C-alpha cells in the first residue's frame, strides 16, 4: 500500500456558480507545475457533460445519476479509493453537483480514508454574486438555504461574477457571506480567475511549492520549506481544516488499549459530533470498526479481505485539534 497520504479537496457551489471554469484553471495550473491531479466528478443526471472536456491523461472518475451526499455516497468512497490506489495522484479534486450538501460529502471522503491514505484538506465554495444577491432579496427558500449551507461549510470562498453587481450590492453580498462564515478566506473573482495555489491548504502550499518554478511564485507564498520537518514530527497526524469545521484524520502507529480508547471516546467534547475508524487493540487479534455519533459509541469486529488503515477520523466544529491530537498520541503505543 502506498504510504503517502493524498490530499483531497472538495469544490462545491450552487449550479452555475463557475465551479467547472475554476476546475479547468486548477488542472491547467497543475499541469504547468508538474503536479499529478485526479478528478472525481459528480452529476445528478446520467451524463457528465463537463467530464468530457477533461483531458484524457488526467485520471477521472464519475458518480452519475445522483448526488454524492445521498444515494451515491458509498460510490464516492469506492471511487476515491480506486483513484488513489490505481493512479497514486499528488492530489484529488472532487467537483460536486451544485445541489450537494458539503458536510455530507466530507463524511463520504472520511469514509474512504479508512481504506486508502486520504486526507480531506479543504472545502472550496464558489459563490455566484448575482445569484446570491437575488436570493438575499427573497430571503427564504430551499435554494437560499442550500447556498447558505455551502458557504458555511467552506474554508475558502470564491466570490465569483463580481462584475455583474454594483459595488454597493457586492458589499452587501460580501457582508452576508462573512456573517454566515467569518472563518473562511474570501477571494473575489471574475470568471473564476485566480491563482489556483491559494486554494490549497497551508500544509499543501509547501508541497505545492516543491513542484513549482520558484521564479513564478511569490516569496511570501513559498517561504522556507517546513514540509519534511512536519512529517518527521507527526508522520501519522493529518489535519488542516479551519477551526469552525474540523476534520482530523489520525493514523495509528500500533495497537491501543481497548479500555483507554473507549474511555477516550466517552469524554470527547460536544463539539465533536462524528467519529469513525478502524483500530487494533492490544488485548485481541481482531480489528474493530468503531462509530461515534452524538455521544453514542458502537464497535463492530471486522475481518477485512484486504489491507486497511488503522485510522480514526473526527468531524466537528470549534474543538481543539491540538488537544485531540495530544490525547491520541498518548493512546498510540507501538505494538
Per residue in 63-94, pLDDT (tens digit) is 544 444 444 455 678 888 889 989 999 999 99
How far is residue 292's CA from residue 158's CA, in Å, rounded to a whole number? 33
Question: pLDDT by residue (tens digit) across 123-141?
Answer: 999 999 999 999 999 888 8
Structure-model confidence comparison of residues 196 and 180, the more confident one: 180
Q: What are phi and psi of 194, to 5 degrees?
A: -160, 170
Mean pLDDT value of segment 141-163: 91
Domain with CATH 3.30.1220.10 in the chain: 241-331
pLDDT of 22 strictly over 60? yes
Find the range with the poorest average confidence among 93-107, 188-202, 211-225, 261-275.
Answer: 211-225
> With DSSP H G I counted as helix, E B as strand and the rest as coil, what are the percentages for the chain, rounded to 5?
40, 25, 35
pLDDT of 233 strictly over 70? no
Instruction: Give the pLDDT band of residue 43 (cuts 50, 70, 90).
Output: low
How far is residue 235's CA from residue 228's CA, in Å, rounded to a whole number? 9
How far is residue 311's CA from residue 107's CA, in Å, rounded to a whole number? 15
Quick one: cell of 84?
488513489
Question: pLDDT by residue (tens digit) across 260-315?
Answer: 999 999 999 988 877 888 899 998 888 998 888 767 788 988 887 767 788 888 87
Structure-model confidence comparison of residues 4 and 22, the more confident one: 22
pLDDT of residue 333: 64
Domain with CATH 3.40.50.300 in the chain: 6-216
The CATH number of domain 241-331, selected from 3.40.50.720, 1.10.1740.110, 3.20.20.70, 3.30.1220.10: 3.30.1220.10
The mean pLDDT value of the chain amounts to: 77
CATH topology of domain 6-216: Rossmann fold (3.40.50)
How far is residue 326's CA from residue 322's CA, in Å, rounded to a whole number? 6
Which residue shows C-alpha cell 445519476? 65
pLDDT of residue 6: 93
**Sign of the alpha-carbon torsion through 39, 51, 145, 163:** positive
Amino acid at each position: 500500500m502506498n504510504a503517502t497520504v493524498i490530499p483531497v479537496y472538495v469544490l462545491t457551489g450552487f449550479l452555475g456558480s463557475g465551479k467547472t471554469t475554476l476546475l479547468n484553471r486548477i488542472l491547467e495550473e497543475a499541469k504547468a507545475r508538474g503536479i499529478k491531479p485526479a478528478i472525481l466528478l459528480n452529476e445528478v443526471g446520467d451524463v457528465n457533460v463537463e467530464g468530457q472536456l477533461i483531458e484524457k491523461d488526467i485520471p477521472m472518475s464519475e458518480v452519475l445519476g445522483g448526488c454524492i451526499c445521498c444515494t451515491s455516497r458509498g460510490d464516492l468512497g469506492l471511487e476515491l479509493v480506486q483513484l488513489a490506489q490505481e493512479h497514486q495522484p499528488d492530489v484529488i479534486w472532487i467537483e460536486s453537483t451544485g445541489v450537494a450538501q458539503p458536510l455530507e460529502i466530507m463524511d463520504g471522503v472520511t469514509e474512504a480514508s479508512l481504506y486508502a491514505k486520504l486526507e480531506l484538506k479543504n472545502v472550496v465554495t464558489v459563490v455566484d454574486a448575482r445569484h446570491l444577491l437575488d436570493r438575499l432579496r427573497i430571503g427564504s427558500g430551499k435554494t437560499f438555504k442550500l447556498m447558505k449551507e455551502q458557504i458555511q461549510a467552506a474554508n475558502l470562498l470564491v466570490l465569483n461574477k463580481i462584475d455583474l453587481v454594483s459595488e454597493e450590492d457586492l458589499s452587501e453580498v460580501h457582508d452576508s457571506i462573512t456573517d454566515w462564515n467569518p472563518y473562511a478566506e474570501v477571494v473575489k473573482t471574475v470568471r473564476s480567475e485566480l491563482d489556483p495555489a491559494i486554494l490549497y491548504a497551508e500544509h499543501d502550499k509547501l508541497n505545492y511549492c516543491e513542484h513549482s518554478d520558484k521564479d513564478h511564485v511569490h516569496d511570501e507564498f513559498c517561504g522556507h520549506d517546513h514540509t519534511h520537518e512536519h512529517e518527521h514530527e507527526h508522520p501519522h497526524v493529518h489535519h488542516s481544516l479551519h477551526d469552525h469545521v474540523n476534520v482530523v484524520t489520525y493514523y495509528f502507529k500500533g495497537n491501543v488499549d481497548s479500555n483507554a480508547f473507549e474511555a477516550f471516546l466517552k469524554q470527547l467534547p460536544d463539539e465533536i459530533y462524528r467519529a469513525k475508524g478502524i483500530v487494533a487493540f492490544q488485548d485481541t487479534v481482531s480489528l474493530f470498526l468503531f462509530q461515534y455519533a452524538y455521544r453514542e459509541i458502537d464497535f463492530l469486529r471486522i475481518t477485512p479481505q484486504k489491507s486497511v488503515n488503522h485510522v480514526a477520523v473526527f468531524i466537528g466544529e470549534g474543538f481543539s485539534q491540538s488537544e485531540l491530537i495530544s490525547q491520541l498520541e498518548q493512546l498510540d503505543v507501538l505494538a
